[in-house]
Structure 1
Amino acid sequence: MKSVSALLSCSLVLAFAGAAPAFASSSDWHAGQGGRIRLVTAGGADASGRMQGALEIALDPGWKTYWRDPGDSGVPPQIDISPSTNIQSISLAFPAPRHHDDGYGVWAGYDHSVSIPVTFTLAKPAAKALVEADVFLGICETICIPVQARLTVDPAKAPDNAADAELVKAAFAALPAPERADFKIKVLRGDHETLHVEAIAPGDPASVDFFVAGEKEYMFGPPKRREKDGEITFSVQILDRPTTAPGEGGLHYTLTSSEGAVAGLIPYP
């Protein structure tokens, strides 16, 4: 995609139009060029204060949107919940993407409508919560358009909305499964500039693909695939990295094949 930084100057013209909030278990749709978005919740929080939801991205035919790591010129879905009431934090999970080559570069994303699972954590589980979320993402046809919208949801207005609950349930069910012995990534010896992994996956070997998300100052190039003597490996150029590798956690990865997808964490290289 053409660099988003070159397009931000026109974001106010091309962003989704604002709309009045819909106080229900879902927000109003915010529509614009290429598609529309809304936030959906599945009702109230559990005893620990967690509340499930989904960012629904309905794309027009021919349009695409980004995975959690869009490469060096894209805009991944981001949700700022700081204007909200009684929402302490938020986490997003991502269904398995595909690699796309648009002539400007290779990037990971979706060429179909997609629901991004969201978990809200309430500061006070028993207290009322109001979601007021500033959403920012990119959708693309021949160029990428930065999208901005304020989405408002009052989960208590319709906590038993069966359609919303089913949409959220389906969004979480579509996530990659946890890695397992016959479907995972094995990190190989690499160097300061390249991440090397071996893919262990069932199904058609030709269908196997690997995605790694840069964070904590890491940035990666597109994976380069190699298959030899029954082994599938990927080499990923490390374009940028922190001075010192973080001590805890790891990098999110997704591995796909004709048999589905798994996701997990790999150590910081």
Structure 2
Amino acid sequence: MIDDQLHYSILASGSTGNVTYLETPEHKILIDAGLSGKKISGLMAKIGRDLSDVDALFVTHEHSDHIQGVGVLARKYGMDVYANEGTWDAMSRKIGKVDVAQKHILAPGDTLSMGDMDVESFAVSHDAAEPQFYQVHHDGKAFCVLTDTGYVSDRVEQTIKDADAYLIECNHDMEMLRMGPYAWALKQRILGDEGHLSNEDGANTMMSVIGRQTKQIFLGHRSQENNMRSLAHLTVSTVLEQHDFGVEHDFYLHDTEPDEPTKLFTL
């Protein structure tokens, strides 16, 4: 029997590095490469996959926790790299030489069709040159990555509504951030419209987009200084349950880690 499903693993998610892996029968891709090539290779091995089989890498924005390994992976494995023009301009000097044949433009709002996989991009609000995230489609199923945004617009909500699975940002607990050691200017940046979603923000976004197809929600990009895994999970779960969403019944909440991959999930 041929496996015609979409498989995925969040290899790493957090303020220290972000990498997501997805595969269909025809394609294997990464969204972001925010760790060293060696670390990403090790995380792939933990889910029984090899970087040499990955054919494309999609970059969300130029911050180091999303691009650290981009240049190395492109040069070592020959992956095609996709980003919008603003991100290419901002990251080119940081990632080293990438062969022009491997450099591709995917503008915000565009969809790239690759055989049995469609990768849809959408712009977000973050303090980067031209930040965008991605929704991957295969055989009527959709997996959405949305982290690193200060707020979620109505346009984005409509774009990502009723996906089968989400990786959603739960960056910080508001009180931990306010009382924590960060300088006031950095706190303002994180809390601003071009910053990051709090646990509550992530929960509120999910309430706006969860649909009948939604089965898995992964809580991502958690700050190691301003959040805790248990607190993020409890906050999102509580908010959703208070609004009569069927947590652990209609859909499931999963935690992610900055240095440990999730298992390989299937849609």
Q: Bin the TM-score by the shorter chain.
A: under 0.3
Q: Which protein is richer in strand relative to its size? A: 1
Q: Which protein is richer in helix relative to its size? A: 2
